[in-house]
C-alpha cells in the first residue's frame, strides 16, 4: 500500500536514497573470493555485518556460504581491530585450513582506519600464517559504491596479490568476468572450450555456489580458480575483461603490473555482444568459429524472427547492475523492443550513461548512483508505463502494484530458482532470456484476451 503514495512528480535528490537498488561492497567482495579454490572470505568487522553478507548470498543461491569474521565489539571500535584479525587468522588456519584467506573491510574497520597491510605483515612476522598459505585483502567500505564496486576491488586485489610476470609467456587467455551468475561463467567457458582456446578464468564461482547435492559436505567446493592459475595469469598471452564496471580496475592492473595485453568488452548478453566476444576471440587467439556456435547463434536468430511480432515495439524498463544493464539494453534493442528507463544503484559514471543512450537512443531515462533507487524507478514507471520490467526480486512489489510483468534478472533474486543454473550470456543464454520474455508477453495476452480471441496457436 505504501507504494501508492509514491508521487509521480520527479524531484532531483543529491543526498537522499530511498529504497536502494543495490547492496554493500562486502557482498560483492565475498562473492568474488568464493571464486578462488580453497579460499575463505573473511569480513573484518562485526558479526552482524558478516551475517548479513552471508545471508544475502545464501538467499540468492540457496547454498551455504562459508565465511569468517573478526567479530568486532565496542572495545574493538575504540582500540582498533588488529588483535581480533591476528587471532582470527590463527584460528582459521588451525581449524579450517584454507589455502587463502580473502579479507574484506566493512564500514566499521574503514571508519576507525585499520591498516590491513600492516596487520597482515605483522601476522607474517608473528608466524600466524603457515608456510604455503596466503592472506590477501581488499578495501570495501559499505558507505560508498555497491556490491559491484566490492567485487571489482576484490578482483583487482587478486591481480595485485597473485599475478606474476616471470618473463615466459604462456599461450593461455586470461578471462576476467564481471559480477555474473555461476551459470554465466559456465556459458563463457563453454564458448572458450568450443573454440579450442586454452584459458584461465577468475574468479570462477561455477560449481561453487551452484554445485550438486551429493550428500557430502565440502567446506571448500571443487570449483574455483586455483592459486597457481591466478599466478600464471601474469604470463598470459592476452587477457579479456568482460564488463567494465566489475573488471576495469583489475584489467588495467594486469596490464601495468604484468604487461599483459588486455581488452575490455561488454558482457556477452544477446547476439550483438556475443558476436563481439566470439569475433575478438577469433582474431586475437587465431582460431576459427566452430559449427557448434554457429548452430546456437542460428537458433537464437530463428526464434527472434519467428516471434518478432510479439516483441516489436514493446516498451521495457530495466534496473540492476551497470554491466548487466548494458547487455540487457542491447538485447532488447536487437529484439525490436523500446527501452524506456535504465536505472542502477551503482555509481557508474558518464560513460555508462552515454553508452546506454548510444544503444537505446537519447530519449531513454538513465540514472546511476545512490539516487538511482527503487523509489525513483517507480516514479519513472508511473510517468511512462512499460510493458515489461527486467530487474531483481525487489521489483516484484512495483510490478504487482502496477500490474506489469517482471522478468527477474541480476542480483539479488530471492523468490525464484534457476538463475544459478541457466545463463543469460552467450547464444544459449540469450535464447533462454528470449523465451522467458516471450512467455511473459504471451501469458499476459492470454490473460487479457476476450473469449473469442483466446487462441490455441499463437
Long-range contact list for 359-366, CB < 8 A, 24+ apart? 359/326, 359/329, 359/330, 359/333, 360/329, 360/332, 360/333, 364/339, 364/340, 365/340, 365/341, 366/341, 366/342
What percentage of the chain exceeds 70 in pLDDT?
Answer: 99
Q: Residue 456 — very low, low, confident or very high, per pLDDT cuts 50/70/90?
A: confident
Percent of the chain exceeding pLDDT 90 equals: 88
Residue 352 CB-half CA count within 13 A: 26
* Same structural domain, 279 and 319: no
- CATH number of 353's domain: 3.40.50.1980
**Averaged pLDDT, 382-400:** 97
pLDDT for 45-54, tens place per residue? 999 999 999 9
Q: What is the pLDDT, as a whole number, of residue 4?
A: 78
The verdict on residue 300 lying in a domain is: no
Reported as a pLDDT band with limits 50, 70 and 90, residue 76 is confident
Is 311 in the same domain as 447?
Answer: yes
244 lies in some domain: yes
d(CA 37, CA 208): 9
Which of 174, 262, 149, 170 lies closest to 225, judged by CA? 174
CB-CB contact of 139 with 213 (8 Å): no
Domain match, 314 and 410 both: yes
**Would you say residue 245 has pLDDT above 70?**
yes
The x, y and z cell numbers of residue 440, run together, are: 511473459
Q: Distance between CA atoms of 383 and 379, rounded to whole angstroms?
A: 6
What mean pLDDT do residues 226-248 have?
A: 97
179 in the same domain as 131: no
Cβ contact 100:227 at 8 Å: yes
What's the whole-number mean pLDDT along residues 66-90?
Answer: 91
Among 234, 264, 294, the domain boundary falls at 294
- 116 in a structural domain: yes
Residue 216 has, within 13 A of its CA and on its CB side, a CA count of 7
Check residue 15 and give its pLDDT. Answer: 84
Q: Which residue has the higher pLDDT, 76 or 337?
A: 337
- pLDDT value, residue 421: 96
Which of 249, 266, 294 is at the close of a domain?
A: 294
Q: What's the pLDDT at 458?
A: 66
**Which residues, in sequence order, are CB contacts of 125 under 8 Å at separation 6+?**
none
In a domain, 164, yes or no: no
Residue 30 has what pLDDT?
98
Average model confidence (pLDDT) across the chain: 95
Nearest to 365 by CA among 348, 384, 351: 384
pLDDT of 14 reads 82
- Please say if the pLDDT value at position 2 is more than 70: no
Note the pLDDT of residue 79: 83
Output the pTM of the full model.
0.96
- Strand ranges, E, within 300-397: 315-319, 338-344, 365-368, 388-391
* Cβ pair 185, 200 in contact under 8 A: no
Mean pLDDT of 171-197: 97
- Mean pLDDT, rounded, for 368-382: 95
Please tell me the distance from the alpha carbon of residue 82 to that of residue 76, in angstroms, as a whole number: 9
Domain count, the chain: 3
pLDDT at residue 282, as a whole number? 97
Q: Is 368 helix (H, G, I), strand (E, B) or coil?
A: strand
156 vs 133: CA distance, rounded Å: 19
Task: Specify whether 46 is located in the same domain as 146.
Answer: yes
Residue 120 has pLDDT above 60, yes or no: yes
Q: What is the domain range of residue 77?
A: 25-150
Q: Tell how far CA 237 is from the center of its chain.
A: 26
Q: Is residue 429 part of a domain?
A: yes
Q: Binning pLDDT at 50, 70 and 90, where does residue 171 land?
A: confident
pLDDT in tens, 287-344: 999 999 999 999 999 999 999 999 999 999 999 999 999 999 999 999 999 999 999 9
Amino acid at each position: 500500500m505504501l507504494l501508492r503514495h509514491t508521487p509521480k512528480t520527479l524531484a532531483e535528490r543529491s543526498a537522499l536514497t530511498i529504497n536502494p537498488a543495490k547492496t554493500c561492497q562486502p557482498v560483492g567482495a565475498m562473492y568474488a573470493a568464493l571464486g578462488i579454490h580453497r579460499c575463505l572470505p573473511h569480513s573484518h568487522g562485526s558479526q552482524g555485518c558478516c551475517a548479513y553478507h552471508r545471508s544475502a548470498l545464501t538467499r540468492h543461491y540457496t547454498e551455504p556460504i562459508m565465511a569468517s569474521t573478526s567479530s568486532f565489539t565496542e572495545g574493538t571500535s575504540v582500540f582498533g581491530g588488529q588483535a581480533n584479525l591476528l587471532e582470527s587468522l590463527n584460528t582459521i588456519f588451525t581449524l579450517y585450513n584454507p589455502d587463502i584467506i580473502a579479507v574484506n573491510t566493512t564500514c566499521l574497520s574503514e571508519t576507525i582506519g585499520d591498516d590491513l597491510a600492516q596487520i597482515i605483515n605483522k601476522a607474517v612476522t608473528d608466524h600466524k600464517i603457515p608456510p604455503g598459505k596466503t592472506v590477501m585483502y581488499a578495501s570495501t567500505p559499505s558507505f560508498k559504491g555497491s556490491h559491484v564496486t566490492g567485487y571489482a576491488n576484490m578482483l583487482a586485489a587478486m591481480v595485485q596479490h597473485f599475478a606474476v610476470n616471470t618473463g615466459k609467456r604462456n599461450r593461455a587467455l586470461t578471462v576476467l568476468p564481471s559480477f555474473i551468475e555461476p551459470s554465466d561463467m559456465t556459458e563463457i567457458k563453454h564458448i572458450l572450450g568450443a573454440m579450442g582456446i586454452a584459458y584461465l578464468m577468475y574468479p570462477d564461482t561455477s560449481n561453487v555456489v551452484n554445485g550438486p547435492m551429493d550428500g557430502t559436505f565440502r567446506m571448500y567446493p571443487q570449483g574455483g580458480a586455483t592459486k597457481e592459475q591466478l599466478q600464471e595469469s601474469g604470463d598470459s598471452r592476452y587477457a579479456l575483461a568482460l564488463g567494465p564496471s566489475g573488471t576495469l580496475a583489475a584489467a588495467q592492473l594486469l596490464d601495468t603490473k604484468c604487461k599483459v595485453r588486455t581488452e575490455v568488452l561488454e558482457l556477452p548478453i544477446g547476439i550483438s555482444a556475443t558476436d563481439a566476444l566470439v569475433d575478438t576471440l577469433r582474431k586475437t587467439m587465431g582460431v576459427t568459429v566452430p559449427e557448434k556456435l554457429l548452430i546456437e547463434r542460428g537458433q537464437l536468430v530463428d526464434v527472434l524472427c519467428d516471434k518478432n511480432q510479439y516483441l516489436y515495439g514493446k516498451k521495457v524498463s530495466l534496473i540492476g547492475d551497470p554491466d548487466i544493464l548494458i547487455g540487457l539494453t542491447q538485447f532488447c534493442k536487437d529484439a525490436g523492443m523500446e527501452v524506456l528507463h535504465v536505472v542502477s544503484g551503482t555509481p557508474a559514471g558518464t560513460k555508462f550513461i552515454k553508452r546506454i543512450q548510444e544503444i537505446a537512443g537519447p530519449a531513454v531515462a538513465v540514472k546511476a548512483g545512490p539516487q538511482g533507487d527503487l523509489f525513483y524507478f517507480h516514479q519513472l514507471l508511473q510517468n511512462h508505463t512499460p510493458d515489461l520490467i527486467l530487474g531483481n526480486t525487489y521489483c516484484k512489489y512495483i510490478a504487482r502494484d502496477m500490474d506489469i510483468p517482471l522478468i527477474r534478472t541480476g542480483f539479488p533474486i530471492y523468490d525464484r530458482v534457476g538463475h544459478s543454473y541457466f545463463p543469460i550470456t552467450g547464444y544459449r543464454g540469450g535464447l533462454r532470456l528470449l523465451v522467458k520474455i516471450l512467455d511473459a508477453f504471451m501469458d499476459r495476452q492470454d490473460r487479457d484476451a476476450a473469449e473469442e480471441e483466446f487462441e490455441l496457436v499463437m
